[in-house]
Structure 1
Amino acid sequence: MPTHSQQPTLLIITSETSEAERLMATLREARLAERSLSIPGAEHLDKVIAERGCDLILCCGYDRDVEVDKVLTAYKRLKTDVPLILLADPDQWETQAAKARRAGARDIVRRADPEHLRLSVARELADLKARRAAEGLNARLRQCEQSALRLTEVTRAGVAFVQDGLHIEVNPAYARLFGQVSPEDVLATPLLDLFAPEHHAAIRDLLKSSDPSAPETITLLDVGCMRPDATRFEARLLASPSEFEGEPCLRLILQPIETAPTCAVAAARADTAPPPAGLTALITEIESHIDEQRLVTRPFAIFFIRVAKIADVMHDMGLSIGLELLDEFSDILSGIVGGRGFLSRVSEDGFGLVVDGLDELGAQALAAELTAQARLPARAAVQDATAPDCQIGYFLVSDRASAPEDIINAAHRLCIGHRYASDGAAGERETAPAEDEEAAIARKIEYALRNDQLKLVYQPIISLMGDSQENYSVLLRLFDEDENLLEAKDFIGTAIRRGLIEELDKWTIRSAIEVIGQQRRAGHGLSLFITLSEDTLRNPNIVLWICDCLREFDVRGNWLTIQFQEDVVVGNLASISKLVETLRKIKCRVAINRFGATERPEMLLQALALDFVLIRPGLAQGLADDGAKQQRLLQLATLARECNVKSVVTGVEDARALTVLWTAGVDYVQGNFLQRPSTTLEVQA
């Protein structure tokens, strides 16, 4: 299909070249058209329109060599949106008018009336432009609707589209909420049958009052829902007018309302079932503390308790006795915990413990108590009876949480000696500013957010392999009340600790996507790399936010690369894995930043579908004179290439490093030696 340019192309049907030139001179003088082509008759009319991208047809009906009837018949058969204007001699005007109208001609103009011709051509070109714009908008709307439907397939909230009280489409989560195996099982069920009788009146009112012309109208109801087995659950129902496959309908979003168990119930739920049932039970327990927005409704401490000596016991006393001792240890540990928390055995030698409402001192005290009292039975012959029999790692979970699997993994890492935690107080932390200084920085951030005092700067990512795409990393700067410029390192730590980082990330995402749209419309092949913080990636609605921004500025997902810091990926692998799958659905590219610090980076490349890895800047510093760094960088670049992932080396500070990087097969480079971060999007010479 031809591409329609900004300057329209006219197709003139005439046997006389001089007549075509005369008509074009009339239209060119009025600045209505600059380009044209002519054909002598109706032959190959369809092929010319299809291949040459014509925008308007002028048929010279007064030309004795042009068979007007054949032209009109051929045009009617085309069913095209390209308008046709018939030019006729005044004495033939009445005769040809009826035929032209039946064939779909848009106008009939007398030969000697140039003013009418100019007005008619201007009107038809404007109408054609409006029709094509509407078609483009409709196509984008259909794409957005399809993207929204794909997102409903992966969201954990129940989503349904309802028309006249009947389901026309539901997502898998909606079916699962009502105890059904597949969405098809729900489609045959009337909407009212899924709700308790006392809510039927409210549901009927909702169905009657929905107005498709007011899509911003949103209704929120707390309702009781009924499953086929007569069990009931409470949920919050959000309803708004929508469309499905072009038909007006009502969109429902259903989220269960979690109720916090009492202390007595929590104590009764203590579970020491063997894995994998124990791991599943622990995940379920953690989920009960977190709502659909990944916000922690009941802060808790999670402990991982590992029986460190059991391997030696099994070596000395045999497998069967070792397993018996583990079972007895499980009973001892359960007795110590009692009703204070939820205990579950999650591996052969490991236990997970969730305790509500502990602060740091309380968690330390409980860990010390368990270390001292949780001992293997006396007949377990171990060399050092004074050393603890178990290792314990713990941290506190509050605010917004990652996936339960990531929470358990983090506690396990702390237990076995990796001092890294993603949600709580344990593990190594950066040194925070003094309280007064931090409060002042927080005020500067809030002021900048309120008064649009934030600014994007860009650093180019330059290809060593001849790629012409314009890739840039996006960085954030902040102006305070006194117009002082703060770099990200001056305020990001405070933003994270004060819960402001998500607002900064959203501002950055929207502003960067707006810039992409502006640059792409100007003809530049711009793509931007944006880093998401740990708090933001835990927000289950962040992809919907990105979708809204892409749609607002008419930007494609593959012009945007979302990147995560490697240490954040390690601590949130399950959460990020799901997020990456969703980002892939909207075509965004994905990268890991500061890559190469972990002992086994290949595990991350195998676990995630990545487009880029940005290798940590420390490897580029002094690279030309450091053989060990050169070897490590070669390993990482080769590993990325084997996994079909592009490598970017950041922090490049000198020219000699470029030769090493090119030899190692690195795809892209970034650093102050090439260009410092700038407010412009031009690579400086």
Structure 2
Amino acid sequence: MPTHSQQPTLLIVTSETSEAERLMATLREARLAELSLSIPGAEHLDKVITARGCDLILCCGYDRDVEVDKVLSAYKRLKTTIPLILLADPEQWETEAARARRFGVRDIVRRADPEHLRLSVARELADLKARQAAEALNGRLRQCEQGILQLAEVTRAGVAFVQDGLHLEVNQSYARLFGQLSTEEVLSTPLLDLFEPEYHAAIRDLLKSTGPADPGSIVLLDVGCRRPDATRFDARLLASPSEFEGESCLRLILQPIETPPIYAVATAPPTAGLAPLIAEIESHIDEQRLVIRPFAIFYIRVAKISDVMREMGLSIGLELLDEFSHTLSRLIGGRGSLVRVSENGFGLIVDGLDEHGAQALAAELSAQARLPMRASVQDATVPDCQIGYFLVRDRASAPEDIINAAYRLCIGHHYVGQAVGGGPKTSAPAGGDDEATIAHKIEYALHNDQLKLVYQPIISLMGDSQENYSVLLRLFDEDENLLEAKDFIGAAIRRGLIEELDRWTLRSAIDVIGQRRRAGHSLSLFVNLSEDTLRNPNTVLWICDCLREFDVRGNWLTIQFREDVVVGNLASIGKLVETLHKIKCRVAVNHFGTTERPEMLLQALALDFVLLRPSLAQGLADDSAKQQRLVQLATLAREFNVRSVVTGVEDARALTVLWTAGVDYVQGNFLQRPSTTLEVQT
């Protein structure tokens, strides 16, 4: 199985190729670097660094053809964090050292001192990696701060950011607690003026004791608050260190004591809105989208409330819904986190449930969560709520996609469930000895170079001169038997091997693109990605590494997703498509047209291609309904500036229909069966 290099790229400034090779041999022997570029001088230094993403610069100051002053001046103008090490003749070392310090050179190494060179390169690369990690952490911190601000806008609790006793920012709930209609009025009021005098000393101590030097400290304080009209209320104040727009401050969360604290979920009426539910889901998932704590998410809908409101009126209907939410909270108790996400919908998250436990809880809630008896239009034999649940384990998609999955299952059936993450999307996963045998064959092929790519051409009907091919995967087992993808992909998904197969396929395809492009061919490959791979947040970074390693442009690669995967992970896919477009990769959806409203998919995602499902091309010439559907889909794709591909073409008569329909590309065994060679057979 090919593995991509994690070694850094060095830029060597020298006019002698042999000298660059000698330096690289020294560093390669110490396993410090594998990849290098060389340039003869300061010209194009900035372009090379920008285009090739170098990690370290070595400047051979002893090379007579290298104008060191120009190189150092160009380096200083770049203001880059990439370290530069100057190599000098021993007799010139003192002179060069004084000059190099003025230009920000990280180290000066004598020409004939390979040990110093190795130590210096190792230190600078480690330092660069630490700085990049710190920068990434700062970026994540800024995102977290932004997320806190967004959550503060939707929470019912009062949230304020204060510094030196003055308000920096407050949310609308905080202003309402103090009887103000706008946040501006509260911002102009000192913090102490909002509390009764007897609590001023405690709050002053709080402001002094909880600061940035103690980032983990959290203080809980019961206080008396006062409004401008002299009315007062008791509240619980939660204070913790935070940052606002880069400034250290204190975050205050204020909750009136007459209502339960914000962290109580067990028997309290559920909080409202999607934000708390999304935050709860995120707490179960790490930054790699791996599930730290497996959980089940339930969507509970009071389906008949619209009938109740029609018969009894809006006010009574809302009152009944509030009572229902209390009943639901009481039934759940401390077993999970309940959030009211809409007028008649509730989200519930319960840790550690398997399929049997989730089904049992759904049945229990369906039987016992009832509207009050005075809802006279209710039939006691029919449940008052519909429930859909979704089991999440291994790797998860975006929280919005998880919530949508539970919602779709709820509105589709009475109470049904499905699992996600490392498992199949079916109710009865395949198992037994056959699957274990196939999984063994996959692992053997991955570790013994027994995988092979085959290619099927995608032919343009509109005169496109680019060589487009769809990439397919084949596997040889220990007995040299050839297995097609349909024989092992299902087992790979269920056994958690699909990401390894995807990465092997992607890297091998990018390598092939690089070889063919250097040979003068205008090749572009279409590669499928699985659901597990798209959920991995490191996928795009890994693709970038492969593109850089093989010197391949992103627009020579098209990443494909199945339509059913896209529909079930729309939020995750949307972000992924944006990121792929940033690195110039093209994006396609295959098996297009299976949903009732495919235009919604085109509106939500900026796609480059849609590949229609193969069944649409079967018997096309004799099926007027299929012809009409084909014309609709091709026209729809054109309206969104998306090129259409019809797959599964098996006969010549279909080509006439496809041409008339305005289809852009065709693919199928009639044109050419999948082959190990990248040549269109005529």
- Pick aligned residue for 1:655 from 652, 660, 663: 652
Counterpart position of 2:140: 173
Alignment of structure 1 residues 410-489 onto 2, 5 Å: 410-417=405-412, 421=418, 423=420, 429=426, 432-489=429-486
Q: CA deviation at 1:424?
A: 6.5
Q: CA deviation at 1:135?
A: 6.7
Counterpart position of 1:511: 508
CA distance in 2, matches of 1:566, 1:420: 21
- Pick aligned residue for 2:249 from 229, 237, 241: 229
The letter of the residue matching 1:229 is C
Counterpart position of 1:143: 51
Aligned in 2, Cα 1:586/1:370: closer, same or farther, shift over 3 Å? same
Aligned partners of 2:610 and 2:637 also within 8 Å = yes
SS at match of 1:416: helix
CA distance in 2, matches of 1:313, 1:626: 48
Of structures 1 and 2, the larger Rg is shown by: 1
Aligned partners of 1:267 and 1:339 also within 8 Å = no
Gaps of 5+ in 2: 1-14, 16-36, 56-126, 151-210, 217-239, 253-260
In the alignment, structure 1 residue 343 sits paired with structure 2 residue 338 = yes
Aligned in 2, Cα 1:643/1:176: closer, same or farther, shift over 3 Å? closer
Q: Deviations over 1:180-239 (max 9, x none)?
A: 989xxxxxxxxxx977699xxxxxxxxxxxxxxxxxxxxxxxxx997523679xxxxxxx
Counterpart position of 1:293: 288
Counterpart position of 2:674: 677
Aligned in 2, Cα 1:181/1:286: closer, same or farther, shift over 3 Å? closer
Gaps of 5+ in 1: 1-82, 84-128, 148-159, 183-192, 199-223, 233-263
Q: CA deviation at 1:367?
A: 0.4
Aligned partners of 2:453 and 2:472 also within 8 Å = yes
CA distance in 2, matches of 1:391, 1:421: 15
Aligned partners of 1:470 and 1:527 also within 8 Å = yes
Aligned in 2, Cα 1:141/1:272: closer, same or farther, shift over 3 Å? farther
Q: CA deviation at 1:643?
A: 0.6
- Pick aligned residue for 1:409 from 404, 412, 416: 404
Q: Deviations over 1:567-602 (max 9, x none)?
A: 000110001101111111101100101010001111
Aligned in 2, Cα 1:451/1:417: closer, same or farther, shift over 3 Å? same
Q: CA deviation at 1:423?
A: 1.2
Counterpart position of 1:612: 609
Q: Deviations over 1:623-664 (max 9, x none)?
A: 111111111111111110001100001111111111111111
SS at match of 1:561: strand
SS at match of 1:651: coil
CA distance in 2, matches of 1:357, 1:465: 54
Q: Deviations over 1:228-265 (max 9, x none)?
A: 23679xxxxxxxxxxxxxxxxxxxxxxxxxxxxxxx99
In the alignment, structure 1 residue 363 sits paired with structure 2 residue 358 = yes
Aligned in 2, Cα 1:510/1:135: closer, same or farther, shift over 3 Å? farther
- Pick aligned residue for 2:534 from 534, 537, 559: 537
Q: CA deviation at 1:174?
A: 3.0
In the alignment, structure 1 residue 317 sits paired with structure 2 residue 349 = no
Alignment of structure 1 residues 63-462 onto 2, 5 Å: 131=39, 139-143=47-51, 145=53, 172-177=139-144, 227=243, 228-229=248-249, 268=265, 272-273=269-270, 275=272, 278-382=273-377, 384-417=379-412, 421=418, 423=420, 429=426, 432-462=429-459
CA distance in 2, matches of 1:677, 1:360: 40
Percent identity of equivalent pairs = 73
Aligned in 2, Cα 1:135/1:498: closer, same or farther, shift over 3 Å? farther
SS at match of 1:229: strand
Aligned partners of 2:418 and 2:426 also within 8 Å = no
Q: CA deviation at 1:563?
A: 0.8
CA distance in 2, matches of 1:362, 1:144: 53
Aligned length: 477
The letter of the residue matching 2:249 is D
CA distance in 2, matches of 1:321, 1:178: 41
Counterpart position of 1:111: none
CA distance in 1, matches of 2:556, 2:241: 43
CA distance in 1, matches of 2:544, 2:636: 32
Counterpart position of 1:565: 562
Aligned partners of 1:341 and 1:356 also within 8 Å = yes
Aligned in 2, Cα 1:670/1:424: closer, same or farther, shift over 3 Å? same
**TM superposition score normalised by structure 1:** 0.65
Q: CA deviation at 1:177?
A: 4.4
Let me know the Cα RMSD of the aligned residues: 3.4
Q: CA deviation at 1:299?
A: 0.5
CA distance in 2, matches of 1:627, 1:590: 30
Aligned partners of 1:618 and 1:651 also within 8 Å = yes
SS at match of 2:412: coil
Counterpart position of 2:581: 584
Q: CA deviation at 1:379?
A: 1.2
Counterpart position of 1:631: 628
Counterpart position of 1:260: none
Aligned partners of 2:574 and 2:604 also within 8 Å = yes
Counterpart position of 2:177: none
Aligned in 2, Cα 1:405/1:553: closer, same or farther, shift over 3 Å? same
